[in-house]
Chain A
Amino acid sequence: MSDELDMGAYRQVFLSESAEYLQGIVDALLTLESDPEDLEPVEAVFRAAHSLKGMSGTMGYERTASLTHTMESLMDTVRKREQPVTGDLIDVVLRATDTLRELINHEASGGAEVDPELMVQELKEHTEVAHRAAEEAAKSAVAEAPIAAAADAGVVTLSVTIESACQLASVRAYMVLKRLRQLGEVVGTVPSEEDIDEGEFDRTFTVRVKTDRPGEKLVEAVRAITEVETASVVERAPEPEPAAVPVAPEPPAADAADVGADRDAAFGRAAKAVPKLADTQTVRIALTHLDEMVDIVGELVIARSRLENITEKIDDHDLNAAVEEVHRISAELQREVMQTRMVPVGNTFNRFPRMVRDLARDLGKDLAFEVDGVDIELDRTVLDEIVEPLVHLLRNSIDHGLEPAEARVAAGKPARGLVRLSAARERDRVLVTVADDGRGMDVERIWKAAVARGLAQAGERDTMSDDDILLFTCTPGFSTAEHATKVSGRGVGMDVVRAKVEQLGGALAIRSRPGSGTEFVLSLPLTLAIIQALLVRSSGHTYAIPLGAVTEVLAYDDLPVGTVDLHPVLTLRDGRVVPLDTLDAVVGLEADRRSPVRSRNIVLLEWGEMARAVGVDGLVGRQEIVIKPLSGIFAGVRGLSGATVLGDGSVALIIDPRALFSTGEGSR
């Protein structure tokens, strides 16, 4: 039963599962750093290391097993409170995680390059220090005092109610007590713990916890448990016998100290906001399978269109009904298949808290990092492709966007900067935003630099919006930075960001207000492969215009056509005047091959806040099309984003609406 095929499949499962565990470890470490006294994340790291050890042992990856074993041992000392949580400890485990990630990839592919021995030794040293300390402590009676028993330990009484629909009330109660034991000492329950365990309680029970944590923290921790309806502090009594507490151990606040502590609280929140993959029933499928399925469904959609064409000619009632049925089923199939490619952005966003933390440390920036909209779903390919641009934008915000703390205070802002990464759904697009509350961008300086570089004429200033001017920073080589740092020079790489986003069929917008911050908005398509399109004809060719960009279709005479500076314009009902061009002109068809007839229809397109009108010879209809990339001589033609095969087997070119709105060829 153990043939090569199985082993390959197991290896795939191993790789994707270990990636999840690694992410879990990083998340937990960051959460732990934000609140070193709450040991819940330590359990998570310990378990993840343990599971990785078991899995790699199972696969026969000995080096991985050895490294995870030492990680597990180290976390065991932390879990037993044999050593405090310090910034150094977090650092060493984070570095071990980095080594582990590299090691797993190498060992799973049969490589031998990565030697974890140095890391193993380092972890062992940390572990042994703890063991020695524990032994020392065991000799002196002081060790009996648990670390948590700080001077202000009191007894908090909590009332906890389990949801009435809960089938396993005693199990939930067990989890409540287990969680509270991580935060203090459970000194009593009503009814008794035995009765609770037997399920002998009516949804509600009270717990007395000896702890130095605020009651709200306990409530918050308990409420986070599934099927806990409510939890509240009934009373908080000071410890009755304050006398005989022996020399209180050093508070284990560590070198991260005060500044770090609540700054990192923000990281902790962010990390917690990321959904756990394990929360849904999942099957693992290699991405290549999904890609293939999308391709096949694309073929099916094309074949369906052909079938529909034929059916129209025959016009048989039964055939029509059957084809109608095929249409419905294939549409459903297509929706499901596309859905399989959608993943929550949280899957990718969850790697950023760590990166931001390290970067903030390196640059000495004090900042809070917020992540929002992690449940928003995006096509897997799109998501993978925007990682690099996002990394760049986040670096930009941290390094250049945020001023030094003194400057912030001088400007009347809080010393701690804020960087925010969020996702939101807007019709058929997803907006991903990287925002900071830093110094903002200086539009006039960018304008001057743009003029100096010959990108714009000084006289054009009034015709351009601030947002347009900010986009000059995305021109290759554009920089206004006085001095570039190792992290990023302002502007460097922005061209890459914009190019990548546009390549994905998205658009980049920059909004900035001097003194109050900058916002980069990536507007991205939900999916890449299949879109709704309006098919139009022009000079004998069929073109597909993505429906997302089309706001209205008009007959030529519906609205008055005029001219401005000799260029035809259309005056819309709301009074806006938009430029009007023929589609032939837009795609750059040579004048002698353009249609001699006057356009019969006008398609009104909108992109962001801009609008344009395009004249076409006629409308074909609305259809779902499968995008095939252009190759050969067509690749890179401005104005076209791809091609598609139509139901009758002919090819239609797909209009790239973005190209119509960028300043340059075809727009005037």
Chain B
Amino acid sequence: MATIRVLVVDDSALVRQILTHVLGDAARIEVVGVARDGVEAVAAVRALEPDVVTLDIQMPEMDGMEALRLIVRDSDARVVMLTSVDDPETTYKALESGATEFILKPREGLATSIDRLGVDLVRAIRAAYAAAPEKRTRTAVPVKPSVPHESSAGGDPERVVCIASSTGGPLALDRVFAGLQPDLSAAFLVVQHLPVGFAASLAARLAKVAGFPVSEAQDGMRVLAGQGYVAPYGTHMRVAGAPGAHTRIELVPGPAIHGLIPAGDPLLESAAETFGKKAVGVVLTGMGSDAAFGLLAIREAGGQTIAQDEATSVVWGMPGAAVKIGAAQCVAPIDRVAVEIRRALRNGVGA
């Protein structure tokens, strides 16, 4: 396989050195250059034609957002944004402006976090590389927040909708959640492959676009109808209990599956076991093949399954794998996924 050529852009020598060092240990990744500000970045992208650019936000001369715009407009480079945990708005803005992936700058000290930083960064770079350049902005239409709905239901859900997504997922989830209705008898569980520290921000964002409560899942947390749950970093998430009775979250430790934790398979498989035909499985855009067998398990248990189509997926890895093994009953463009979920909850997909 080809080597991924990476340009590292950051105004801090320390960060450049750390990133370069971390990437130096990764197979098939070569740092072909570094740049210290947006102007240098734009010039270096033109001169070096890297496959992937890691881009800082706050920089002298020209900031990362402006450089992102120009890089996406004038080159094929995919961008991994380096953002900070306390600024999810900027992260989303970057994704909407064409950044393919993002990681969060470490906050709790390198000694403990450098290995995880390396894992996150390498994953993000490989995922960004897998995305087609022309997909960078296709799905990037901002979604307006919904007006909060009246809090409804709140009892044990009759059905669960389990969604797995990865690269391109945050914006895809935006579209899905913006089209969902809370006043259904279902709960929504999400596994999105994320850098550490972002699950709470993702939950908050989804709550805003959906208009119903979405929270970062905790072990043993009760699952309520009309609400959403996002798997935290570092553990797998499963759903336990039965339809209409004692539905709750189980967080289980590793090992990582497909190198991912959380992975989509454990969630989808647990939904197949506990909710059977009352489970709805959804696999959205993302690199790799995670969640394909989980989706198949739901289908085999009589549940209903949806995969995002190739045209609207940033990377048609996970949904493609699901389609190939015959796990998806329905393949839909992202703007139809919410409709298909609603239909599945009413009377079964494709019906």
Contact = CB atoms under 8 A, between A and B. Distances in A.
Interface stretch (A54-62, A127-135, A154-162, A489-497): A54-62
B111 A7 contact: yes
A58 B15 contact: yes
A620 interface: no
Contacts of B110: 2, 7, 10, 58-60
B39 A51 contact: no
A7 B106 CA distance: 14
B39 A60 contact: no
A439 interface: no
22 contacts: A1-B22, A2-B110, A7-B110, A9-B17, A10-B17, A13-B13, A47-B11, A54-B12, A54-B84, A55-B15, A57-B108, A58-B105, A58-B106, A58-B107, A59-B14, A60-B110, A60-B111, A61-B109, A171-B43, A174-B66, A175-B61, A278-B36
A6 B110 CA distance: 10
Contacts of A13: 13-14, 17
A631 interface: no
B25 A1 contact: yes
B118 interface: yes
B58 A58 contact: no
B22 A57 contact: no
Contacts of B105: 54, 57-58
Contacts of A17: 12-14
Given A51-B58, A61-B109, 12 more contacts: A1-B22, A1-B118, A9-B17, A17-B12, A17-B13, A44-B60, A55-B14, A57-B105, A58-B109, A60-B112, A168-B43, A175-B39
Contact of A55 (B12, B42, B111, B118): B12
B40 to A, nearest CB: 10
A57 B46 CA distance: 32
Contacts of A60: 108-112
Contacts, number: 88
Contacts of A174: 62, 66
Interface-central residue, A43, A58, A170, by most chain B CB under 10 Å: A58
B27 to A, nearest CB: 14
Interface of A: 1-2, 6-7, 9-10, 13-14, 17, 43-44, 47, 50-51, 54-55, 57-61, 65, 167-168, 170-171, 174-175, 178, 226, 278, 284
Contacts of B12: 17, 51, 54-55
Contacts of A50: 58
Nearest to B66: A174
Interface in B1-57: 11-15, 17-18, 21-22, 25, 36, 39, 42-43, 46
A175 B106 CA distance: 30
Contacts of A14: 14
Interface of B: 11-15, 17-18, 21-22, 25, 36, 39, 42-43, 46, 58-62, 66, 70, 84, 105-112, 114-115, 118
A220 to B, nearest CB: 18
A167 B43 CA distance: 8
Nearest to B85: A57
Nearest to B118: A1
Contacts of A51: 11-12, 58
A47 B60 contact: yes
B17 A171 contact: no
Nearest to B59: A47
A57 B110 CA distance: 8
B111 A57 contact: no
B46 A2 contact: no
A1 B114 contact: yes
Contact of A171 (B13, B62, B114): B62
A175 B105 CA distance: 27
Contacts of B84: 54
A637 to B, nearest CB: 46
